[in-house]
Amino acid sequence: MPWPTHEVVNQPPPLAGVNLFEADLALAAGVGREGGSWHTAALARRGRWAGSEEAQRLAMRANRYPPALQTHDAQGRRVDRVEFDPAWHALLHGLRADGLQARAWEAPRAGAHVARAASFYLHAQVEAGSLCPVTMTFAAVPVLQAEPMFASLAPRLFCEAHDAGDRPVAAKSAILIGMGLTEKQGGSDLRGTQTVAVPLDSGGRGQAYRLTGHKWFFSAPMCDAHLVLARAPEGLSAFFVPRWQPDGTRNTVLIQRLKDKVGNRSNASAEVEFSDALGTLVGEPGRGIATLVGMANTTRLDCAIASAALMRQALVQAIHHCRHRQAFGQPLADHPLMRNVLADLALESEAALLLVLRLARAFDADERPFLRLMTPAAKFWICKRAIGFTAECMEVLGGNGYVEDGPLARLYREAPVNSIWEGSGNVMCVDVLRALQQGGDSLQPLFDQLAQTAGRDARLRALFDALQAHLKLGPDAQQAAARRMTQWLVLLVQAGLMQEHAPAASAEAFIASRCGEGHGSVAGCLTAFDSNAILGRAWPVKQ
């Protein structure tokens, strides 16, 4: 029936039915340039799904109906099971169908990590929580490949279909691997680990131990096994701890509660107690921190990719809204100040994308010095920028952005987690300092490239000179300046990438607004810029 007092006008239509890969000119060009062109057809399929109403519906359901903990069954038996909405399992089916949990390890080829990064980037624009168990599984594969148990695990790790069953590993077609490192008293200082591992026999690599202790953040407790840090007689070591024991009984990994998180609500994070839980030592005995932190570059890259994806989707939603919403006699997108804000956000989004694709290429090429330095730097900067970025896009939508009916609220709540998990901002910056101090001659090619980039622009030269001067400071002064140094490093690399791969006018606007003396600390402070060119490149969809 008609509602004369409630006619809906001047409301943008839902953004659906678009291909998020084909509409992303920088992504499509970057995938081809960095070696992943062979994956273009698959990315187009994934992009079509990511921009569909079905994908949006699954993402909304998975977050509206979060996981629930069931500690006991009806008869009082301990089950420690986490129940998920079917939408969660549908999302994981899609992730495994794309091989995001292991394909780049199973079938390495030129551009394999670039192709994976692009698929990851598209999925993260839809729903980021479901990526957590996938990224941990992906990071676990290289650790497990060196172990005798890998022969039996490989078919289940490489399987490209999701198995949601809660059964022993041997009875499943596909498995996921989680991680359990941090404890209440330690946090990022893993040397404070109190969980104890006692060998059942002589001990050593590949041998069984019994673990007693707790984990304060146990990521994705429904995973089929976890890589866990514990204090063995040999020192802090890494252990493979399955949910089920080989005899078919449940392992005594007791889930105490699920964390009530700000965002990432579709994914479960737990506190657990190990009560004589069975585990197998992996990696070198006494080298558990090195074994598990060795996974960090992989998971940190995924954090940066996911944050770049959150920025991209928030930007697309903001541009779409402004092109359809009228205010003060014209579309919001035609107001000069709004165009300044949107163009500034578009530059930030493209620079983030260029950096994560460059890092993915470095994974393919095994550029270890570059990865050792730039992965924590990118993780720090992109994840930090995503928090304010999503808030700015939410503000563009006004009240509509602040309610849970649309995706902006979820994107905003999701943004901080990537900056916190896998090492907070300070940890990343100290890691950057450590890489700078230990890199020696291996970093010279990168610094030669930065010097070449800086030589083309006085503003970049000032940043480069400041970075060089700070490298001569004492340890305490350097640590106090670590965030500033990391920011300069990332901006120099991003500026070079923008000069190489973005339109010249976009590169100039990026450098002027980030590296010049008169740059603004909030979005929308561009001075000379071509808003038509920047926004047309950012979102060419006519809808």
Angle at 491 between CA 472 and CA 135, to 5 degrees: 105
On whether residue 209 sits in a domain, the answer given is yes
Check which CATH number belongs to the domain holding 228 and give it. 2.40.110.20
- Residue 518 in this model has a pLDDT that exceeds 90: no
pLDDT of residue 366: 95
* AA identity, residue 495: A
Q: How confident is the model at residue 513 (pLDDT cuts 50, 70, 90)?
A: very high
What kind and span of H or E run contains 237?
Answer: strand 235-242
Residues 6+ positions from 402 with CB-CB distance below 8 Å: 394, 408, 409
Angle at 33 between CA 29 and CA 37, to 5 degrees: 80
Structure-token pair, residue 130: 């479901």
On whether residue 92 sits in a domain, the answer given is yes
d(CA 138, CA 131): 10
On whether residue 8 sits in a domain, the answer given is no
- Residue 39 β-bridge partners: none
d(CA 498, CA 479): 29
Q: How confident is the model at residue 543 (pLDDT cuts 50, 70, 90)?
A: confident
Residues 449 and 357 in one domain: yes
Residues 105 and 193 in one domain: no
Domain boundary among 238, 258, 286: 286
Check which CATH number belongs to the domain holding 413 and give it. 1.20.140.10
Residues 467 and 392 in one domain: yes
d(CA 40, CA 246): 42
3-class secondary structure for 297-330? HHHHHHHHHHHHHHHHHHHHHHHHHHHHCEECCE
Residues 250 and 113 in one domain: no
d(CA 239, CA 283): 8
Q: How confident is the model at residue 52 (pLDDT cuts 50, 70, 90)?
A: very high
What does each C-alpha distance from 506 to 124, 273, 386, 450 come to in angstroms?
Answer: 25, 52, 20, 19
pLDDT of residue 439: 92
Per-residue pLDDT tens digits for 90-126: 999 999 999 999 999 999 999 999 999 999 999 999 9
Burial of 406 (0-12, 13-18, 19+ CB in 10 A): buried
On whether residue 164 sits in a domain, the answer given is no
d(CA 407, CA 321): 12
Residues 367 and 508 in one domain: yes
The residue-averaged pLDDT of 369-393 equals 98
The CA R_g of the chain, rounded to the nearest whole Å, is 24
Per-residue pLDDT tens digits for 408-426: 999 999 999 999 998 999 9
- Residue 257 in this model has a pLDDT that exceeds 80: yes
3-class DSSP state for residue 266?
A: coil
- Residue 79 in this model has a pLDDT that exceeds 90: yes
Per-residue pLDDT tens digits for 150-186: 999 999 999 999 999 999 999 999 999 999 999 998 8
The number of distinct structural domains making up the chain is: 3
The residue-averaged pLDDT of 442-451 equals 96
- Residue 66 in this model has a pLDDT that exceeds 90: yes
Residues 229 and 375 in one domain: no
The residue-averaged pLDDT of 345-365 equals 98
On whether residue 75 sits in a domain, the answer given is no
Instruction: Give residue 39's domain range.
Output: 25-70+81-158
On whether residue 53 sits in a domain, the answer given is yes
Which segment of 188-202, 273-287, 482-496 scores lowest on mean pLDDT? 188-202
pLDDT of residue 6: 79
Per-residue pLDDT tens digits for 221-238: 999 999 999 999 999 999
